[in-house]
Structure 1
């Protein structure tokens, strides 16, 4: 069984839980280590007791770097009871530093994998800080065996032209983990036209970190005077809002339903809405324009019509499949124009286009998980072959001396 040591930036992140479940479903043994930003019982994984390396704070990059540096000095002690791994994965740049440190702690030649699912805005700066961070990424990633990322635009817009990394790349999209394939893939979603007098619902689910989206959706729902209701679920990044709870409390047509378990609760929360807000202005024009968010795939699998922002990778994804709705300008007036004449016929046409898609493009099944683990296992075989080749000259010299 392949043993993977997985370093993560936030043990409470539901996406971390999903990745660990994927690796386990693929047949790997996973040791999880990382930092905790807050408590989230819904991110717990049965059978795994993570190695906690410390606490970090959201939107506090300097504090996170200091915490990582401190943990690097103590890493040998933290890993004292961990068996030697076959592969080490670092989920983002700070964790790549710890992955490299762990490799030296074990004194091995096991491959290190760099998993980068967001391009931090500091990496994209054209000043000394940005150049320094990209230089650090090049040094830390120089000996990595594989880069895992989630969107083609990350490769096209950053990794190839700017990062300076020259690594094999595996595209692993943020698809829904659906291990019960029969249940997930063979049951088509049903349309949900609201009853007479009931509002249409737009769901904004997942990592709630976009102040601009919150304001826009509040203004839009007020403008529509209750014809549309905004349903929020997930983990708010409170550091990004002046007063998230207060804004939602005062919004007459907006409701926050709290956190949820991913993937177990996805069917229920998406079947409660007609539309999925697949827009994020958190790092507008940069990471947010390039990513393909979890909610894109979740909404697609469960029949929620996605709403994307024009000019983004998400909009390009939808246009290629002729599905979804695209907002051409980020304000309440344009969203009202996009949705203002919505009726049952128009909704059903948009829903049918989503429901007609091949459901495999939205989800990852057990066979996909096994393929991921096999790809990681292949890195260990490549490493073994390199080690054998490096040993051949010495072996030949030894043989020569015996003759």
Structure 2
């Protein structure tokens, strides 16, 4: 970061209310936001949330792809260096270099009222540069398998997390199981925890898309976002290949190079399988309009993080009229079951081919109608909710 260039909230669009969370005459809260990947689309959403509460923001972080973003969510982004998916030792080295030479980062954040750190590598730096009186917020959106192991590497990384959390004022999690199973049960954390689910941001369509995918074969499944589950790709590829044209799969987003070193080769020549490339948030409506189902199954950290998380695509899919496909025995499936929605399959490799072979338009319309009845406030974060959550994060309420 060059200096503490805290940027004022952006001007609201016509679709957004003009008010923010700062009382008249009060100075906006200055937030230094440190992130693990500047290119993560969720960083932009979090910046919008903080802006809705009236915060001024300075942003710095690592980045996973080149070139480094120069601006995210209307805020100038300062690069701390490039890291790679996986490559934990290399990422630890990047953090250590910043940790050993903290002067520039500490000076740049000296005027911040709040240090907000997204994921553990950012928290380690925030704990290092924090000055007395600065509020420290730890945003934990994934529980890495190393944090749950019993070996020496796991014990070391938990010790690092314990050190970094000594002065944390608030932990922000995106799923109840992260709060209950990890921080409360396993870590014994007694401090404040805020649950901020990955609700779809506004503006999104108030109702399902005006021209949804027609309810007949080919049945189209969309898998969008960070693509990092090899088992999911294998399953979807096999489903498309074996369906004889009755099932098509649309992929879009960022394939993990650590999991898929040659993603193009993995999907080349597969009938019914198409990759639309990376996308911007404003492209989501167009992507979901092409599909009937949203793939919400994840085996990346099977039995661990994958069993606890509530992914972005769960909320995005429902917000845009797509029916989520999920496992019933994990948090995503339990969430859908509570709302009487979704297509739940315990053994997708075995069950889905038969299901799609016999799926009728009438059956699909019933499934889609059930998904459309999920309460709007369970899937979309409106401006009022965003301001309330933003104020909680900033310590204003």
Relative to the length of structure 2, the TM-score reads 0.88
Residue 184 in structure 1 maps to residue 208 in structure 2: no
Equivalents in 1 of 2:377, 2:359: separation in Å? 29
- Picking from 139, 160, 163, the partner of 1:139 is 163
- Picking from 144, 151, 154, the partner of 1:127 is 151
Structure 1: stretches of 5+ with no match in the other structure: 382-403
Residue 81 of structure 1 deviates from its aligned partner by: 4.5
Q: Is the 8 A contact 1:26 1:366 kept in 2?
A: no
Equivalents in 2 of 1:43, 1:225: separation in Å? 45
Q: Is the 8 A contact 1:308 1:314 kept in 2?
A: yes
Residue 44 of structure 1 deviates from its aligned partner by: 4.3
Equivalents in 1 of 2:156, 2:276: separation in Å? 41
Equivalents in 2 of 1:193, 1:41: separation in Å? 36
- Equivalent in the alignment of 2:390: 373
Structure 2: stretches of 5+ with no match in the other structure: 1-27
- Picking from 351, 354, 358, the partner of 1:334 is 351
Q: Is the 8 A contact 1:327 1:338 kept in 2?
A: no
- Picking from 229, 248, 256, the partner of 1:210 is 229
Residue 43 of structure 1 deviates from its aligned partner by: 9.3
Residue 41 of structure 1 deviates from its aligned partner by: 8.3
SS in 1 for 2:58: strand
Residue 84 of structure 1 deviates from its aligned partner by: 0.6
Superposed CA RMSD: 2.0
Residue 337 of structure 1 deviates from its aligned partner by: 2.5
Judged with a 3 Å threshold, the aligned counterparts in structure 2 of structure 1 residues 142 and 344 are, in CA distance, closer, same or farther, namely: same
- Equivalent in the alignment of 2:46: 19
Residue 297 of structure 1 deviates from its aligned partner by: 0.1
Residue 301 of structure 1 deviates from its aligned partner by: 0.6
**Counterparts of residues 3-402 of structure 1 (less than 5 Å):** 3-39=30-66, 44-45=71-72, 47-82=74-109, 84-103=111-130, 107-178=131-202, 180=203, 184-185=205-206, 187-190=207-210, 192-194=212-214, 199-262=218-281, 264-331=282-349, 333-378=350-395
Equivalents in 2 of 1:305, 1:287: separation in Å? 23
Residue 108 of structure 1 deviates from its aligned partner by: 2.8
Q: Is the 8 A contact 2:119 2:140 kept in 1?
A: yes
Q: Is the 8 A contact 1:10 1:36 kept in 2?
A: yes
Q: Is the 8 A contact 2:229 2:299 kept in 1?
A: yes
Judged with a 3 Å threshold, the aligned counterparts in structure 2 of structure 1 residues 356 and 40 are, in CA distance, closer, same or farther, namely: farther
Residue 328 of structure 1 deviates from its aligned partner by: 1.1
Relative to the length of structure 1, the TM-score reads 0.87
The worse-fitting range, judged by mean Cα deviation, of 337-346 and 370-379 is: 370-379
The worse-fitting range, judged by mean Cα deviation, of 349-358 and 21-30 is: 21-30
SS in 2 for 1:240: coil
